[in-house]
């Protein structure tokens, strides 16, 4: 018993000391703790190594905001930036120590966004030209995951696994009935027959115009998918379409029979395949998933970091820079958050770039569905001023539509992937009122005014015809400004302009045909174009903006929020099928919180279309 109390006392004392030390250190202690937790050892690259592309790691334009709470708990989502992936694959093709690429699908697939995936797929295809092999293995391939895996020389699947190839689909959610039941009235003003972003609040289904254009968009993106996979697997498009129509989800044996995979394999057989590709394999240690000693490997992130450090030592840092500015997320008025494109914040960033003489050219990477028209115009003006001094090339990611396209018109050239979603040249305004809700709750409002328009901004009751006419004039005026920018930038006649506007949504492939895009290609195409325009030769380096979000922004601007952040939807213990719908509803509603344009006028893509290419 005495020993028990001694242990209890020691434990209590240790806990008390830890609390006192943590409180004493405060933010400094948290910084130190975070550094200790996040410190990584320098990677080591040996001969006969495979570069690993993990399909479970999402590929985004930029890394997400660091979340202290999640990092300390070890559940911060890993994301690999697109340029890291592409550059690592390109350098690996010339590195004798890298003998193959292993596309690892053992942990499932989180890759999505066909604009970005196209660039990765093209990099993989170029890697194969070096004569080195690509081996892919997975349990269950998602459709986007298989899009990348199809490039491999050998596609292996676990005998208990399978793959998905069933086509693209969208299921937009409509709030009209729910808003009516809640007593919230909605009045909508828009310009553009195809401007469908408002339909979620005014209809219970898609309008004929919107359905038509969404069908065309899905068909075009799907056709690019089919063409790519058919070429990679030496199949016909009609064969793949028949599989999508008749089977959709294929078990391993069916996938093998349809020649979508090359072998059914367990992990030891996968290692044999890697060995055949030249990778060193530890014959005595073949434990499978989660084992770091079964073959020589290096991740994309580790290899990129290794190569970056090597280049810093070998080459003198050039003063000539290309600024790469990421505009990712909804466009909002004010400064916005790290997950949105704030007009004021990005205006300041572009001003800084304009005043930096070491920056010789600029690439604007736009991955945004649009948003506030006022904020888009603030950024547009800064891009226009920047373009007057330095070449500005626009690189479109998965989505660069509506307000995103508004900004793009200020650049010198526009580069997009064939399956980029763009266009949506139109504007709208949504006016909510709580008159019916007030009636249900027994609330009444009276008013005293000096004129019939004094309460034009009130949401207490629906707008009158006169008030609606005022708002419609504002919407029409903003649309006219939008059209003028597009027409001037793209040298379109009024008739041609009308045929591409009206809120129509285009793929990058079709957008080039109608004059909205200059060249098809990815981010690296745009960077190379910028270097050429600025006549930089090979002596230049890329400087990314906004500045990567590290400890400073985390601890001093968002510490409290990071520590106090509540659990996400995955902690609600919902069944998977309910989680999917809950997350869709949550993301849709989140868009409303980003509707902060001072005039209440927006140039934005419908959310469910953005979700196709997030």
Q: Is residue 102 included in any domain, yes or no?
A: yes
Judged against a pLDDT cut of 80, whether residue 165 lies above it is answered with yes
351 in the same domain as 469: yes
Element (H, E) at 321: strand 321-328
Alpha-carbon distances of 166 from 142, 148, 362, 529, rounded to whole Å:
10, 16, 40, 37
In this structure, the answer to whether residues 365 and 412 fall within a common structural domain is yes
Check whether 332 has a pLDDT greater than 50: yes
Tell me which residue range forms the domain holding 519: 316-431+458-549+586-612
CA distance 237 to 225: 10
> Are 343 and 467 found together in one domain?
yes
Determine contact, residues 270/173, Cβ cutoff 8 Å.
no
pLDDT tens by residue, 89-124: 999 999 999 999 999 999 998 888 999 999 999 999
pLDDT at 217: 93
Residue 136 in tokens: 């892919």
Interatomic CA distance for residues 383 and 351, integer angstroms: 9
- Looking at residue 531, what is its pLDDT? 96
Q: Is residue 453 part of a domain?
A: no
**Mean pLDDT score, 25-34:** 48
Name 361's bridge partners.
322
Torsion angle (degrees, nearest 10) of CA 30, 32, 35, 41? -150
If you average pLDDT over residues 20-28, what whole number do you get?
A: 46
Question: Nearest-CA neighbor of 140 among 165, 169, 168?
Answer: 165
The pLDDT value recorded for residue 421 is 96
Q: Are 612 and 221 in contact (CB under 8 A)?
A: yes
Report yes or no on 3 lying in a domain: no
Q: Look at residues 596, 534, 589 and name the one whose alpha carbon lies nearest to residue 182.
A: 589
Q: Residue 606 in contact with residue 200, Cβ under 8 Å? A: yes
Question: Is residue 193 in some structural domain?
Answer: no
In whole angstroms, what is the distance from residue 551 CA to residue 554 CA?
A: 5
Pairing between β-strand 80-81 and β-strand 59-60 as defined by DSSP bridges: parallel
Strand partners, 506: 422
What's the pLDDT tens digit per position in 471-520? 999 999 999 999 999 999 999 999 999 999 999 999 999 999 999 999 99
> Cβ(429)–Cβ(399) under 8 Å?
no
- Greater confidence, 447 or 364? 364
Given 266, 288, 310, which residue is the final one in a domain? 310
Cα distances from 614 to residues 109, 110, 116, 117, 288, in angstroms, run 15, 12, 10, 11, 32
Tell me the pLDDT tens digit for each residue of 189-207.
999 888 888 899 999 999 9
Interatomic CA distance for residues 325 and 411, integer angstroms: 13
Note whether residue 505 is domain-resident: yes
- Which one has a higher pLDDT value, 443 or 595? 443
**Of 574 and 161, the one with more pLDDT:** 161
Residue 290 domain flag: yes
Please list the residues that pair with 543 across neighbouring strands. Answer: 323
What pLDDT is attached to residue 307? 86
pLDDT band at 238 (very low <50, low <70, confident <90, very high): very high
Mean pLDDT over 208-224 rounds to: 93
Q: What is the pLDDT of residue 145?
A: 96
> For position 607, what pLDDT does the model report?
55
pLDDT more than 90, % of the chain: 66
CATH number of the structural domain spanning residue 471? 3.90.226.10
The reply to whether 306 and 333 lie within a common domain is no
**CA–centroid distance for 75 within its chain:** 20
Same domain, 332 and 405: yes
> For residue 546, is the peptide bond before it cis, meaning its omega torsion is within 30 degrees of 0?
yes
Q: What is the pLDDT of residues 504-560, one digit of tens each?
A: 999 999 999 999 999 999 999 999 999 999 999 988 999 999 986 554 445 444 444
- Residue 348 belongs to some domain of the structure: yes
User: What are the angstrom distances between the C-alpha of 48 and each of 270, 275, 277, 292?
Assistant: 16, 9, 9, 15
Angle between helices 114-128 and 208-233 in degrees, nearest 10: 10
Q: In 3D, which of 513, 511, 515 has the Cα closest to residue 490?
A: 515
**Is the pLDDT assigned to residue 69 strictly greater than 60?**
no
The answer on 261 and 360 residing in a single domain is no
CA distance 21 to 14: 11
**Is the pLDDT confidence value at 42 over 80?**
no
Q: How far is residue 382 CA from its own chain's centroid?
A: 24
End-to-end CA gap in the chain: 61
Reply yes or no on whether the pLDDT at 569 is more than 50: no
Is residue 288 pLDDT above 70, yes or no? no
- Buried/exposed 405-440: b ≥16 CB within 10 Å, e otherwise: bbbbbbbbbbbbbbbbbbbbbbbbbbbebbebeeee
- The pLDDT assigned to 464 comes to 94
One domain for residues 361 and 425:
yes
C-alpha 29/C-alpha 555 separation (Å) is: 11
CA dihedral 224, 227, 229, 232 (to 10 degrees): -130
pLDDT recorded at residue 339: 86
Q: How far apart (Å, rounded) are the C-alpha atoms in residues 334 and 422? A: 24
Q: Do 89 and 51 contact (CB within 8 A), yes or no?
A: yes
What is the pLDDT at residue 318?
A: 73
Domain for residue 443, yes or no? no
Tell me the per-residue pLDDT of 581-598, one tens digit each, with 9 for 90 and over.
556 566 666 666 677 777
Verify that 262 and 383 share a domain, yes or no. Answer: no
Coil, strand, or helix at residue 138? strand
Q: Which of 310, 332, 354 is the last residue of a domain?
A: 310
d(CA 423, CA 517): 10
pLDDT digits (tens, 9 = 90+) for 137-155: 999 999 999 999 999 999 9
Integer Cα distance of 497 and 425 in angstroms: 10
Q: What is the pLDDT of residue 592?
A: 65
Q: Do 288 and 341 reside in the same domain of the chain?
A: no
The band of 317, judged by pLDDT with boundaries at 50, 70 and 90, is: low
The first and second tokens of residue 500, run together, are 């591409």
- Model pLDDT for residues 356-406, shown as the tens digit of each residue: 999 999 999 999 999 999 999 999 999 999 999 999 999 999 999 999 999
Looking at the fold, whether 150 and 264 belong to one and the same domain comes out as yes
Domains of the chain: total: 2
The reply to whether 81 and 127 lie within a common domain is yes
DSSP string, 30-76: HHHHHHHHH--PPP---SSEEEEEETTS-EESSPPPP-HHHHHHT-P
Model pLDDT, residue 541: 92
> Where a domain ends, among 262, 280, 310?
310
Position 239 confidence tier, pLDDT thresholds 50, 70, 90: very high
Considering only residues 328 and 556, tell me which one the structure prediction assigns the higher pLDDT: 328
For the purposes of burial, counting CB atoms within 10 Å of the CB of 206, is it exposed (0-12), middle (13-18) or buried (19 or more)?
Answer: buried
Helical axes 373-387 vs 465-490, angle rounded to 10°: 20
Angle at 389 (CA atoms; ends 388, 391), nearest 5 degrees:
85
Looking at every residue in the chain, the average pLDDT score rounds to 85
Catalytic residues: 195, 402
How many whole angstroms separate alpha carbon 544 and alpha carbon 148? 26
> Both tokens of residue 138?
């997975």
DSSP 1: -
How far, in Å, are 436, 455, 461, 466, 543 from residue 446 at the CA level? 15, 11, 11, 20, 57
pLDDT band at 443 (very low <50, low <70, confident <90, very high): confident
Who's near 592: CB < 8 A, 6+ residues apart?
none
Could you say which DSSP state residue 442 is in? T
Residues 385 and 291 both lie in one domain: no
pLDDT interval class at 337 (50, 70, 90)? confident
Q: Is the pLDDT of residue 67 over 90?
A: no
């Amino acid at each position: 018993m005495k020993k028990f109390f001694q242990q209890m006392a020691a434990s209590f004392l240790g806990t008390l000391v830890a609390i006192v030390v943590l409180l004493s250190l405060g933010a400094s202690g948290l910084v130190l703790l975070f550094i200790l937790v996040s410190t990584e050892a320098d990677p080591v690259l040996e001969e006969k190594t495979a570069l690993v592309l993990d399909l479970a790691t999402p590929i985004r334009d930029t890394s997400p905001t660091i979340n202290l709470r999640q990092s300390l708990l070890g559940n911060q989502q890993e994301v690999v930036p697109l340029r890291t992936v592409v550059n690592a694959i390109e350098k690996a093709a010339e590195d004798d120590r890298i003998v193959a690429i292993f596309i690892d699908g053992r942990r499932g697939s989180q890759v999505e966004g066909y604009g970005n995936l196209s660039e990765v797929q093209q990099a993989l295809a170029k890697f194969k030209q070096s004569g080195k092999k690509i081996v892919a293995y997975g349990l269950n391939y998602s459709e986007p995951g298989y899009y990348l895996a199809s490039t491999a020389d050998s596609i292996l699947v676990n005998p208990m696994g399978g793959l998905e190839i069933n086509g693209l689909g969208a299921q937009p959610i409509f709030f009209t009935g729910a808003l009516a039941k809640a007593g919230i009235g909605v009045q909508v003003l828009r310009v553009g027959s195809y401007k469908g972003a408002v339909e979620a609040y005014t209809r219970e289904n898609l309008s004929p115009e919107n359905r038509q254009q969404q069908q065309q968009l899905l068909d075009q993106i799907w056709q690019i998918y089919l063409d790519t996979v058919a070429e990679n697997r030496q199949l016909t498009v009609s064969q793949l379409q028949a599989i999508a129509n008749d089977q959709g989800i294929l078990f391993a044996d069916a996938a093998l029979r349809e020649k979508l995979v090359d072998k059914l394999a367990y992990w030891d057989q996968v290692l044999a395949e890697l060995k055949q590709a030249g990778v060193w394999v530890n014959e005595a240690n073949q434990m499978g998933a989660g084992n770091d000693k079964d073959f020589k490997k290096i991740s994309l992130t580790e290899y990129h970091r290794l190569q970056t450090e090597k280049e810093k030592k070998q080459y003198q840092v050039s003063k000539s820079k290309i600024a790469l500015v990421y505009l990712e997320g909804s466009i909002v008025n004010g400064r916005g958050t790290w997950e949105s494109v704030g007009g004021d914040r990005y205006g300041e960033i572009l001003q800084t770039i304009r005043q930096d003489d070491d920056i010789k050219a600029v690439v604007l990477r736009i991955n945004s569905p649009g948003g506030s028209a006022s904020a888009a115009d603030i950024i547009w003006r800064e891009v226009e001023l920047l373009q007057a001094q330095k070449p500005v090339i626009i690189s479109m990611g998965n989505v660069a539509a509506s307000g995103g396209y508004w900004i793009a018109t200020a650049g010198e050239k526009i580069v997009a992937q064939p399956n980029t979603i763009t266009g949506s040249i139109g504007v709208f305004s949504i006016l909510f009122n709580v008159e019916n809700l007030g009636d249900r709750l027994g609330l009444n409002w009276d008013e005293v005014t000096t004129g019939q328009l004094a309460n034009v901004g009130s949401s207490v009751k629906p707008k009158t015809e006169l008030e609606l006419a005022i708002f419609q004039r504002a919407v029409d005026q903003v649309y006219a400004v939008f059209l003028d920018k597009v027409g001037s930038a793209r040298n379109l006649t009024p008739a041609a302009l009308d045929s591409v506007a009206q809120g129509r949504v285009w793929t990058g492939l079709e957008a080039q045909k109608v004059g909205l895009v200059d060249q098809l290609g990815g981010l690296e195409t745009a960077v190379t174009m910028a270097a050429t325009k600025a006549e930089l030769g090979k002596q230049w380096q890329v400087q990314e903006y906004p500045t990567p979000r590290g400890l400073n922004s985390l601890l001093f601007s968002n510490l409290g929020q990071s520590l106090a952040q509540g659990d996400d939807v995955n902690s609600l213990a919902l069944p998977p099928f309910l989680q999917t719908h809950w997350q869709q509803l949550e993301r849709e509603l989140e868009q409303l919180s980003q509707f902060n344009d001072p005039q209440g006028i927006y140039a934005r893509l419908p959310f469910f279309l953005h979700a196709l290419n997030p």
